[in-house]
Amino acid sequence: MKVKRPGLVTVIVDLNFLNVFLLIVSFFPKSKFIEQFGFYFNPTPSFFGGYN
């Protein structure tokens, strides 16, 4: 007999998979693949060296 997981556990697992996907995608910030989903990476200003 298969036991079904509670709904909250399923939501948490799905959010973890989304976080892993976004983490892997963030390793490639200059890719056109990311920009087609509407994510644009701008350089962040630094106090000690202008833009990194």
- Domain-located, residue 49: no
- Domain-located, residue 23: yes
**3-state DSSP call for residue 50?**
strand
State the residue range of the domain holding 5.
Answer: 1-40
Task: Supply the pLDDT for residue 26.
Answer: 74
CB count in 10 Å sphere of residue 34: 16
Single pTM value for the model: 0.50
- Domain-located, residue 26: yes
Total tally of structural domains belonging to the chain: 1
* Run means of pLDDT, 10 residues per run, the chain, 52 residues: 87 94 75 71 65 50
Residues with Cβ within 8 Å of residue 34, at least 6 apart in sequence = 25, 28, 41
- Domain-located, residue 46: no
- Domain-located, residue 47: no
Task: Supply the pLDDT for residue 43.
Answer: 64
